[in-house]
Amino acid sequence: MPYLELRNVTKRFTNVAALDDVTFELEQGEFFSMLGPSGCGKTTALRIVAGFESPDEGAVVVDGKDLTRTSPNRRDMGMVFQAYSLFPNMTARQNVEFGLRIRGRSADQRKDRAGELLELVGLSAQGDRYPYQMSGGQQQRVALARALAIEPKVLLMDEPLSALDARVRVSLREEIRRIQTELGITALYVTHDQEEALSISDRVAVMNAGKPEQIAPPLQIYAEPATPFVAEFVGTMNRLEATVAESGTVRYGGAQLGVDAVRGRSSGDRVLVLVRPESVTLESLADGGTAPAGALSGRVLSGVFLGPVTRIKVETPEQGQISADVPSATAGRFNVGANVSARFDSAHARVLDLAAE
C-alpha cells in the first residue's frame, strides 16, 4: 500500500495549469525526487503536499488519510526550504527545539532530541550559534535537523542545496541520503539538478509542463528515457530522425545504421533514434575518405574539455550534428576540422516514435 499519494491533482494559476492531473505514489521509506526545469510544477506539487497550496482538483493522501484540506501545521511534515529558513532570533539548538516546543515536549526531552539531531548532522559543537554565525551549508544542516526533530511523516525538501557552492552541495546531498536511509523516513525532494536527483533517489519523476513525463529509478530514467523530453533533459542525447530499414537497421541520410531497438517495427516507419554521447565512438579518416558501413562521416566542429572526457561535436554533411565523448587523453587526435567517422553500438540506441514528440 502506498504511503503518500497524489491523486489526480490539478492546480491552476490564472488559467495556467501548474499541475495537470498529476498522480504518483511513494512507498514508505522511499526517497522520491521530482526533477524538471523551472515552471514545470515540481515545487507546486511539493507545496500542495505540504499544505501551502490547495489543489483545484484531486487529493493528497498520507498513510491512508486524506490531508487535502488539512492545514500545514497539522500535517506533521518536516520541510527544508530553498532559501535559508532558520529563525534568525534563535540559536541552532533553539531552532531544532522549536517544533518540539510547539508540541509541548519537556525541556529535557527537547534538549536530548536536539542534541541527537545536531550530532546526526555533524553540528553538535555549533548548537549555541545563531544563523548569522553559520555558513549556508551549516544552516541547511540545522534546517534538516529541525525538520527531522518532529519525526515527520514525510520529509519535504525544496531545492535545499541550490544556494550552496558545488563542493558543499555534493557532500550535503550524500549526507541527506545517509540520514534518510538511517532513519528510514519517506522523503519527497525537488530539484532541477539532474545529477542531484539521479545520485540520491530511489525513484525520480521527470516533470514537464505540469505533468510527470516518466517515473522510474534513476538508471532507467537515464538509460531508457520514455519521451524525447526526458532524453533531452536528463544528460545529453543525440537525436537522429531516421527511417526503419530492414533487419535491425535505420536509414539516416545516406547511411544505414544498426539499431537493435527497431527490430519488429515495420520498414519505412519514421523513428527518433536516441544515442548518448558516451555510446558514440570516433575514428580518424583520411582527408576525402568515406565512413565505413554502419557509420557516419563528418568534420570535427568543436571539442569541449569536461575533465576525464572531451565532448567532440561532429558536423555531418547532410544530417546535422552528433556529439561523442572521447577520453581526454586521446582527444588530441580530433582537432577542429579533422575528417572523422562516428559509430555507436546498435544495442545502446533507444528508439521512440516520431509522433511521440
Helix, strand, coil shares of the chain, percent, nearest 5, are 30, 35, 35
Residue 125 near another protein by CB under 8 A: no
Identity (one letter) of the amino acid at 243? Answer: T
The site that binds another protein (CB under 8 A) totals a number of residues, namely: 37
Q: How many CB atoms lie within 10 A of CB 278?
A: 16
Q: Where are the beta strands (DSSP E) in the chain?
A: 4-13, 16-26, 31-35, 57-62, 65-66, 77-80, 154-158, 186-191, 203-208, 211-216, 238-244, 249-252, 255-258, 270-275, 280-284, 296-305, 309-316, 320-327, 339-344, 350-353
Closer of 62 and 150 to another protein (Cβ):
150
Residue 73 near another protein by CB under 8 A: yes
Residue 103 near another protein by CB under 8 A: yes
Residue 55 near another protein by CB under 8 A: no
253, 316 Cβ separation under 8 angstroms:
yes
| Span 195-214, contacts to another protein by CB under 8 A | none
Residue 147 near another protein by CB under 8 A: yes
Interface residue with another protein among 143, 144, 197, 300 (CB under 8 A) is 143
Closer of 103 and 333 to another protein (Cβ):
103
Strands 350-353 and 270-275: antiparallel
Strands 309-316 and 296-305: antiparallel
Closer of 83 and 293 to another protein (Cβ):
83
CA distance 186 to 314: 45
Residue 133 near another protein by CB under 8 A: yes
Closer of 34 and 50 to another protein (Cβ):
50
Closer of 155 and 340 to another protein (Cβ):
155
Identity (one letter) of the amino acid at 86? Answer: L
Q: Minimum Å distance from CB 248 to another protein?
A: 54
Q: Minimum Å distance from CB 142 to another protein?
A: 11
Q: List residues binding another protein (CB under 8 A).
A: 50-52, 71-79, 81, 83-89, 98-99, 102-103, 129-130, 132-136, 138, 143, 146-147, 150, 156
